[in-house]
Chain A
Amino acid sequence: MSNLHEHEIKKPKVDLNYSSDKKPVHSDPSPEAKPLPKVTIDGKAYEFKPGDTIMQVAERYKIHEEIPRYCYHPGMPIAGTCRMCTVEVEKAPKLMTSCSTPAGDGMIVHTRSEKVLKSRTGVMEFLLTNHPLDCPVCDKAGECELQDYNFEYGPALSNFKEEKRVYDDATTKKLSNDVTLNMNRCVHCERCVRFTDDVTKTNDLVMVNRGWHKELEATTEAGLTNEYQGCLTDFCPVGALTWNDFRFKKRSWFLSKKPSLCDGCSKGCNIEVHSDADIVYRYVPIHNEMVNGHWMCDSGRNSYHSYMNPLRVTSPLMKHNGELHATSIETLLTEVKAQLKNASTVQIVIGTDATREEAALLKEKVPALIGKNVAVSYFNGTNGVTTAADDKKLDNLLKMKDLTPNTRGVEEQGLAALANGEISADVVIYFRSGRAGIPKMKADQKIILWGVWSLEEIKSLPSKNILAVIAGHATIEKAGSYKNADGIVQKFHPAIVHRGGALSAHQVVGVWQSLT
């Protein structure tokens, strides 16, 4: 008896690590001094930090790929409601939910015993009693956790012979302009409710009624209002919440998935570009604890539209008889060279959406090619941001004031910001990758545009004297690196192949050099 009491006192006081983005909380003064405790999972011992749950240990060591789960998400608090992640713990009378059971020293866990598999089959059968068989029209099909886990654990047949439950009012309900709810498909994992409660802290969603009639509803009449609605549709394990922009556009198994960076703001969220035949269909965030966690904002998610814009300039354009005409890069650069030679003052303006490599190239190689004293400066022009010092967080999660991805990286080159945001020289080369703003200019200013431009943008420019447009690559089409708002340098590779006539900055400089 006294032994047990001693054990109780010695037990270190440890809080549960609710989500993976929190470090383990040690109330023990010297955790390093002791060897780490070990838990045995499927016959093998694994070290863990006190406070880890069984799920987190299994996740870290990738035991059997993963323990199946619906309600657990590493970025959100633990609910333990779906019962899919149950495992067998020796000496425990019942199966334990691995997402909410803290691992203990010397604990012996079986994740694939007969008892566990039988339980998962039962859970799957219950989840499928009311799930409609509409995978052919459901956008989640192909990346659906219900499909995957049912294939792996589920029963082939159901004992449910009765009529399925149908929510008449919520079969196709628009929760907002961006998200559609189909309540019939919902498995009540409540990830979405916990996301709005604990991640965005907007409390947009709530489950009303109980049991059979449990239904997801928006708390206000305006519906969903938070800026991270796309994340709801990412982590929804079934097709209950779907993203209208992607809804019915493409089946998920046709998409090729390549990692890249979002260039919508100075945060630099890590994304996966989902494309088919080099046409982008959506951006999906990928987990990076240092930058964006698991999330990504809606404006960043929609930012691919500007690169897939049919009016984007994808071949070199040159002014001829007062109008812009498509031409070859050699003709264009020969003309540009002549114009630059005649100009009394030349200025290069680098948009803060250029990669660090492009900024270095424009600062060092291009002035040498022009052969004159050229003023080089950078320009941001989004949301009233001039330098990186003006940048600030707009909410508690990811959104930043600066809407260009590389202000810090361009500043690193030792350049000065464009004075008053106004271009002044005779001929100005403005390099921009589709995100930086438009500087102030006079109506007859001679300008050479370089990078990602659309015809709408060119038409709306104050200057009507555009000499040439050198079409360039967008972030998802080029390689390079950005330095984000927190000073983290992130490299990226092309996610899709550019199918138009645009050239990378290095290719253009290469052609320019071959002409001289």
Chain B
Amino acid sequence: MGTINISKKYTAREKAYLPAILIGMKITLKRFIEGFLFRKSFTIMYPEQKRTYSDRFRGMHFITVDPTKTENCTACFLCETICPADCIHIVADEREEENNPYGVKKEKKPVSFDIDALRCCFCGFCEEACPKDAIKLSGNYELAVSSREEAIYDLDHLKRNMNGRQEKI
């Protein structure tokens, strides 16, 4: 059996340990002086003060609506198909003719559209797969709930007024 030795040889400087310890101590001292003498803060007062994340941050989903508050989703099941965590559950049906001014374009609708946020891994594949730009991921990262049931979001919740990540609030 061939064995590959991948351990590297330490240099004299590394073997001595002391230079590395001194570098570490220098950083500790620098942060101590900044915080203690100049009162510089490294934490934020979270619920009052919020952290801004990058535009590419993927938070909780929402479903876009048109001006008449009809969801853009046509229940094509592509997000459910691609979802690696199996967290989207859709039941589809035909939209009633009297509520459908769009004709064939929106003849199929989701009767229920549930996202189990506990299973979701926020990969964003659903957003990519959606042919109607209906499901999007917002920048919302405040997802704490007090029970498992509350983390299953239904269509009414997903249709709430939200802004996408790239759109400025």
Contact = CB atoms under 8 A, between A and B. Distances in A.
Contact of A182 (B76, B77, B104, B131): B104
Contacts of A208: none
Contact of B76 (A137, A171, A172): A137
A312 interface: no
Interface residues of A, number: 14
A247 B107 CA distance: 11
A136 interface: yes
A252 to B, nearest CB: 10
A172 B107 contact: yes
B92 interface: yes
Contacts of A253: 81
A136 B132 contact: yes
Interface residues of B, number: 15
A137 B81 contact: no
B2 interface: no
A250 to B, nearest CB: 8
A254 B76 CA distance: 12
Interface string A270-303: 0000000000000000000000000000000000
Contact of A249 (B81, B92, B107): B92
Interface in B47-81: 74-78, 81
Contacts, number: 32
A251 interface: yes
A115 to B, nearest CB: 35
Given A137-B74, A137-B76, A137-B107, A251 B81 contact: yes
Contacts of B78: 136
B103 to A, nearest CB: 6
B74 A136 contact: yes
Given A247-B94, A249-B92, A251-B81, A137 B108 contact: yes
A338 to B, nearest CB: 47
Contacts of B81: 251, 253-254
Interface string B108-138: 1000000000000000000000011000000
B34 interface: no
A151 interface: no
B93 interface: yes
Nearest to A168: B103
B131 A248 contact: no
B90 to A, nearest CB: 10
A251 to B, nearest CB: 5
A136 B78 CA distance: 8
Nearest to B131: A136
Contacts of A182: 104
Interface in A233-270: 247-249, 251, 253-254
Contacts of A137: 74-76, 107-108
A172 B76 CA distance: 17
A248 B104 contact: no
Given A172-B104, A248-B108, A136 B92 contact: no
B164 to A, nearest CB: 20
Interface string A75-94: 00000000000000000000
A142 to B, nearest CB: 9
A58 to B, nearest CB: 33
B77 A248 contact: no
B103 A172 contact: yes
Contact of B93 (A134, A171, A248, A251): A248
Interface string A120-157: 00000000000000111100000000000000000000
Nearest to A171: B104
Interface in A179-202: 182, 184
A470 to B, nearest CB: 34
28 contacts: A134-B104, A135-B76, A136-B74, A136-B76, A136-B78, A136-B131, A136-B132, A137-B74, A137-B75, A137-B76, A137-B107, A171-B103, A171-B104, A172-B103, A172-B104, A172-B107, A182-B104, A184-B104, A247-B94, A248-B75, A248-B93, A248-B108, A249-B92, A251-B76, A251-B77, A253-B81, A254-B77, A254-B81
Interface of B: 74-78, 81, 92-94, 103-104, 107-108, 131-132
